[in-house]
Amino acid sequence: MNYKIVRLNTALRTSKTSSVLIIYTGGTLGMAYDDSGALVPFNFGQILEKIPILYTMDIAITVISFPEPIDSSNVTMSHWKDMAYIIYENYDSYDGFVVLHGTDTMAYSASMLSYMLQGLNKPVIFTGAQLPISAMRSDARENLMTSLEIATAKINGEPIVPEVCVFFNHLLLRGNRSKKVQSVHFDAFESENYPPLAESGIVIDYNTQAIRPLESHKKLVTRSSLDNNVLILKLFPGITQNVIDAMLNIKGLKAIVLETYGSGNSPSEAWFMDSLQKAIKKGIIILNVSQCNGGRVIQGRYETSKELLNVGVISGTDMTTEAAVTKLMFLLGQESKHSDVVAKLKVALAGEMSA
């Protein structure tokens, strides 16, 4: 990957006690208004002009920028591979990493990197903003500065948060438990099925019991083989057999995230169950997650979900859709055996689901 490197505070680098690598992928945070009033990406080497208080932080900062900052709606598997590669390549040189990313697909990217970066023992903090950094009431300054502080936070020389996270509007969330729920308010992200890892106020309060423990004996390994032959099928009242069959028979399809109602319920019509069973017999994996924000699938709790269990649909328990679809992409790229993919879907790889 050809990326741009900008070092900040280099003259003071030897006197700084901590170091952070910022990976700028794009998004609202890194934009400014041009003369015509349009939002355009600014040169991230000028970040100290936008947030001069960064000079006072006891952190040596390096910025690596994507050659062309992207709108997060355009994120692809290749971008995930680039992010993981940059972290892996620079892992030993920094105390932590901050990924500046557009909010629309941040939860997808944070989920995927939590799987790809195996053996991670340093903070990787995704953050962004609802308003550009040049706006008067921008949330960008607070989100960036607090993310930098969390990325370097240590107790007894060890990182407090050695996992992939999302920080937004005072809350630090596990990356693969986060979900974007707002587009017009600053509290854009929630984690309904898992408690926040930290909350920032006058001080940053860490919920140490919720944070993944440090596994210092492990070395970082990146797993970059991915497979995107998956789809998300959201059920709705009145969905037809033609729609279901058309989607289940897409050429090359390997897996489906089935968004069901409530605690994992679906239509119980014979044609619907028959269509699912035919797909499963062809080797297509179907993973059941709830449409509800904060929902948990309990297949068999109601009669309408018992048949899903009988035909071979896998329960996604309390995974978000973002964590489920990226987990399928990851496992399909990593495992050669269908049975291994199925087995690993049922266990947590990076804290994305409850036991």
Does 72 show up as a binding residue in the annotation?
Answer: yes
Q: Which of the residues 28, 152, 260, 326 is marked catalytic?
A: 28
Q: Which element (helix H / strand E) includes 297? A: none
Single-letter code of the amino acid located at 92: D
Q: Across the strands, what pairs with 190?
A: 179
Distance CA 26, CA 65 (A): 8
Distance CA 35, CA 107 (A): 33
Q: Are 346 and 314 in contact (CB under 8 A)?
A: yes
Q: Across the strands, what pairs with 62?
A: 7, 21
Distance CA 335, CA 9 (A): 44
Q: In angstroms, what CA-CA distances link 343 with 122, 285, 340?
A: 28, 11, 5
Helix spans in the chain (H): 47-50, 77-89, 106-116, 140-152, 241-248, 270-281, 303-311, 321-334, 338-345
Residue 154, token pair as written in the block: 């240590």
Phi, psi of 214 (to 5 degrees): -65, 135
Exposure string of 314-328, with b = 16+ CB inside 10 Å and e = fewer, is bbbbbbbbbbbbbbb
Q: Are 136 and 76 in contact (CB under 8 A)?
A: no
> Active-site residue 14, yes or no?
no
Does 34 show up as a binding residue in the annotation?
Answer: no
Which DSSP letter does residue 205 get? E
Reference 4, options 64, 80, 77; nearest CA is 64
Distance CA 129, CA 132 (A): 7
Q: Which of the residues 25, 62, 103, 146 is marked catalytic?
A: 103
Does 274 show up as a binding residue in the annotation?
Answer: no
Q: For the purposes of burial, counting CB atoms within 10 Å of the CB of 16, is it exposed (0-12), middle (13-18) or buried (19 or more)?
A: middle
> Active-site residue 28, yes or no?
yes
List binding-site positions for substrate: 72, 103-104
Catalytic residue numbers, as ranges? 28, 103
